[in-house]
Structure 1
Amino acid sequence: MKERRMTPASATLRHVILRPLLEQGAACPLDVMFVLNSLSVGGSESKVVRLANRLRERGAEIGLAYLNGPHVLLRQIRPDIPVWHLDRRGKYSLSTLVALRHLVREQRPRNVVAVSLYPTLYVLGATRGMRRRPRAIGLINTTTFNPGQEWRGRVYRPVLRWLDWTVYGSEVQRRAWLSESAPAQRRSCVIYNGVDVRHFRAMHDAVALREQRRRLGIAERAVLVGTVGRLAPEKGQSALIDALARARAAGADVHLLIVGDGPMRARLEQHAARRGVSAQVTFAGAVLDVRPLLAIMEVFVLPSRYVETFSNAALEAMAMGKPLILSEIGGAREMIDDGVEGYVVPIEDIERRLPELLLRLAQDRRLRERLGRAATRRARSAFSLEAMIDRYSELFGCPLYGRGA
Structure 2
Amino acid sequence: MIKIFIIGTTASNLFLFRKDFIISCIDSKYKVYALVSEYDNYWIKEIQKLGAEVIKYQLSRSGLNPFKDLKSMFELKRYINQYNPDIVFSFFTKPVIYGSLAAKLAGSPKVIGMIEGLGSPFTEHPTGQSWKMKMIRFFQVTLYRIVFPFLDKIIFLNEDDPEDLINKNKIFHRKNAVNVLGAIGLDLKDYPFQKWDESKDITFIFVARLLAEKGIYEYIKAAKLVKAQFPDVKFKVIGGLDLENPYGLSKQELENLIAEDIIIYPGFVNNVKDHVADSAVFVLPSYYREGVPRSTQEAMAIGRPVITTDVPGCRETVIDGVNGFLIPKWNVDALVEKMCYFIENPMQINQMGHASYTMACEKFDVNTVNRKLFNIMGLDV
Question: Which TM-score tier does this pair reach, normalised by the shorter chain?
Answer: 0.7 to 0.9
CA distance in 2, matches of 1:165, 1:358: 41
- Name the TM-score, length of structure 1 as normaliser: 0.79
Give the alignment's Cα RMSD to 1 decimal.
2.8
How do 1:248-263 residues align onto structure 2 when only pairs under 5 Å count? 248-251=227-230, 253-263=232-242
CA distance in 2, matches of 1:304, 1:63: 34
Q: Which one of 190, 194, 207 corresponds to residue 199 of structure 1? A: 190
Alignment partner, residue 100 of structure 2: 124
CA distance in 1, matches of 2:212, 2:368: 33
Query: CA 1:316–1:362 in 2, change beyond 3 Å: closer, same or farther?
Result: same
Q: Which amino acid aligns with 2:325?
A: Y
1:378 aligned to 2:366?
A: no
Q: Is the 8 A contact 1:29 1:107 kept in 2?
A: no
1:76 aligned to 2:38?
A: no
Alignment partner, residue 397 of structure 1: 378
Shift of 1:361: 0.8
Q: Is the 8 A contact 1:197 1:384 kept in 2?
A: yes
Q: Is the 8 A contact 1:238 1:268 kept in 2?
A: no
- Name the TM-score, length of structure 2 as normaliser: 0.84
Q: Which amino acid aligns with 2:99?
A: V
DSSP-derived class of the 1:339 partner: coil
Q: What is the number of residues matched between the two proteins?
A: 356
CA distance in 2, matches of 1:72, 1:379: 30
Alignment partner, residue 187 of structure 1: 177
Query: CA 1:385–1:29 in 2, change beyond 3 Å: closer, same or farther?
Result: closer
Alignment partner, residue 80 of structure 2: 104
Shift of 1:77: 2.1
Q: Which amino acid aligns with 1:173?
A: D
Stretches of structure 1 that go unaligned for 5 or more consecutive residues are 1-27, 211-219, 401-405
Q: Which one of 61, 85, 90 corresponds to residue 56 of structure 2? A: 85
Q: Deviations over 1:324-348 (max 9, x none)?
A: 0011221333322111110111114
Shift of 1:189: 0.5
CA distance in 1, matches of 2:207, 2:99: 31
Q: Which amino acid aligns with 1:189?
A: N
Alignment partner, residue 162 of structure 2: 174
Q: Which amino acid aligns with 1:357?
A: K
Alignment partner, residue 115 of structure 2: 140
Q: Is the 8 A contact 1:323 1:341 kept in 2?
A: yes
Shift of 1:246: 0.4
Q: Which amino acid aligns with 1:100?
A: L
Shift of 1:124: 2.9
Which structure is larger by alpha-carbon Rg, 1 or 2?
A: 1
Query: CA 1:278–1:398 in 2, change beyond 3 Å: closer, same or farther?
Result: farther
Q: Is the 8 A contact 1:231 1:263 kept in 2?
A: yes
1:38 aligned to 2:29?
A: no
Q: Deviations over 1:110-149 (max 9, x none)?
A: 221221111123213312333x423222111233336322
Q: Deviations over 1:60-115 (max 9, x none)?
A: 22111012346764343252200111134674244433321121122221221221
